[in-house]
Amino acid sequence: MAKIVLLSCTKSKLDKPSQAQDLYSASPMFRKTLEYGKSLKPDKMFILSAKHHLVPMTKVLEPYDKTLKEMPTDEKKIWADETIKQMKSHKLNLENDQFIFLTGGEYMKPFKEYIANIETPMEGKRMGERLQWLNSQISKLNEYITLYLNDVEDYYSGEKDLTLVESTLNSLKQLIVESKQDDISIILKEALMFSSPEKKEIIEDFMIYIQEV
């Protein structure tokens, strides 16, 4: 099963031809959604465009003015059918792949009858709530590590111990960034299997810390 992240195009765009991932960067919501989408470590990520259908992140597009909300129902059906064809041409498995829609509702609804495994983590959230949620997800790990390192000065004695804690958590942070697994707790448990006894103790303590914060 592959993890597929889908973003949606935005009305705000740059005024020059750009890669798709840059064209919509005029929108703060798109920038945050893109950042969060990348943090999920997807196997593939695309942008759903009202004009161009399924767009690879690096495809260069001209600025345009078209949104799905403006389309009549029959035109939306035609758009969805063409997008499904493009998904299949990109070897996306509509039955088995995991599709995470980080989009507006208009860009997700047409696919419910086609795709078996759909996740919509931002569904039901208002605009401000979406930005707040995205920011919290992106910064959560950094906050945990910073809080732990600040508090650990009162727990571990000696500069050597503090250096070991910092080294262990910085390595752990890099592991999480590089991993395709988006569940932090699973990554921590896997890290325990390959750690020295000293680092294992630190990771175990950090896991307890996350649960109690």
Look at the domain 3-124 and name its fold. Rossmann fold (3.40.50)
Give the bridge partners for 8, in sequence order.
48
Cα gap 168→88, rounded to integer Å: 43
At residue 160, the pLDDT reads 56
What pLDDT shows up at residue 165? 86
Question: How many CA atoms lie less than 13 Å away from 44 in the CB half-sphere?
Answer: 16
Write out the chain's pLDDT in tens, 213 residues: 899 999 999 888 999 999 999 999 888 888 888 888 887 888 999 999 999 999 999 999 999 998 888 889 899 999 999 999 999 999 999 999 999 999 888 888 889 889 999 988 777 666 677 666 666 665 677 778 888 888 876 666 555 577 888 888 877 776 665 554 555 666 777 788 888 888 888 888 888 887 777
Judge contact between 187 and 179, C-beta under 8 A: yes
Q: Measured between alpha carbons, how far is 184 from 172 in angstroms, rounded to an integer?
A: 10
The predicted structure's pLDDT at residue 35 = 83
DSSP assignments along 96-125, one per residue: TSEEEEES-GGGTGGGTTT-SSEE-TTTT-
Report yes or no on whether pTM surpasses 0.75.
no
Instruction: Spell 55-77 as b/e; 16+ CB within 10 A means b.
Output: bebebebeeeeebbeeeeeeebe
In the chain, domain spans: 3-124, 139-212
Q: Rounded distance, CA 51 to CA 67, Å?
A: 8
pLDDT for 75 equals: 92
Distance of CA 157 to the CA centre of its chain: 38
pLDDT score for 62: 95
Query: Coil, strand or helix: which one is 60?
Result: strand
- Tell me the chain's radius of gyration from C-alpha atoms: 21
